[in-house]
Amino acid sequence: MAEIMMCEPFKLYNLLNQFRCVSRLAEINFLCLIDARETQDYNTSHIITAKNVRMDSEGKFILPDAVEVDSMRHVVVYDSNTSSLQEKGRGAGCAEALAKLSLYPVHIVRGGFQRFSALYPFLRTDKMMYTTTELEHLKTYPVEILEELLYMGDQKQGTDSSILRDLKISAIISVSETDALESRSTKGKQTILNIPVADSVQSDLYSSFERICSFIESHIDMCSRVLIVSRQGRSRCSALTIAFLMHRLKYTLREAWTFLLKCKPTMRPNTGFLQQLSEWELHTVGTKATDISEPHF
């Protein structure tokens, strides 16, 4: 039987917004998302791509026929408002049924639909069925790094006014060879900081770390939300995000790297930026505690 764990809403948010070439929700074995609420509540509104479960006359959950739980990499369930594993509501009961089939931990969303939909109302829907094409073209949002404070994405997301509005972004850091966001700085409500750096192993990001960390800190200390973007949202913006985590949370490079991987598994600073992050580790924690020659870096 798989382990049952609570997870914060932002972790489900990040799962729903993973993509490679297209949304990862189009991968049949990526995410099993189950709505354990009453059917009438599910029909009114639910989290995108969630499937509803019913109970039989004996109070046992009947999982949807199309869901092969044992093949799913991520299994997540939510009910109305369960907030702890000690609560024995519909979320816990459904999680127990899923745990008997799953090869991976089953996560219950803390606060359930009520909390998730309050934080991310734009991810609610009444749509029940999706074609593969529809899943591939679902809008993906920047991943959330620090809850309700810091986000990371690509250039396209940084210029999408509906995304900026939905996430209530106040400031954007764009690291790019061009000033792609400059043209919209007078039209939108966001403060924009452009960092003109190419995604090259010879490029210097290190000299911008102090400035960027101060910029982010000045906004999030006022509870304003910051979005970091680069062209593909993989190398430059992840290097800046790791640098900030090391600065703000006093993480080692390894700790910051591991933290960010959980938010966005496809993040990958180039080797030049990795070396600069190693130097930054010496600056922020006083030692090079991380061996960047190890294979997973």
The pLDDT assigned to 59 comes to 80
CATH at 254 = 3.90.190.10
pLDDT band, residue 56 (cuts 50/70/90): confident
Instruction: Based on the fold, state whether residues 132 and 156 are members of the same structural domain.
Output: no
Residue at a domain's end among 103, 120, 136 = 136
Does residue 116 lie within any of the structural domains? yes
Report pTM. 0.94
Q: What is the mean pLDDT of residues 291-296?
A: 91
pLDDT band, residue 179 (cuts 50/70/90): low
Residues 89-123 have pLDDT tens digits of 899 999 999 999 999 999 999 999 999 999 999 99
Contact by Cβ (8 Å): 272, 203: yes
CATH at 40 = 3.40.250.10
Furthest-apart CA atoms within the chain: distance in Å: 66
Instruction: Based on the fold, state whether residues 107 and 238 are members of the same structural domain.
Output: no
Does residue 291 lie within any of the structural domains? no
How many domains are contained in the chain?
Answer: 2
Does residue 21 lie within any of the structural domains? yes
Kind and range of the H or E element at 35? strand 31-35
Look up residue 14 and give its two tokens: 């990040």
Q: What is the mean pLDDT of residues 210-239?
A: 97
Which residue's entry shows tokens 């799953």? 102
Q: Is the pLDDT of residue 137 over 70?
A: yes
Instruction: Based on the fold, state whether residues 208 and 102 are members of the same structural domain.
Output: no
CB atoms within 10 A of CB 23: 20
Look up residue 52 and give its two tokens: 């509803």
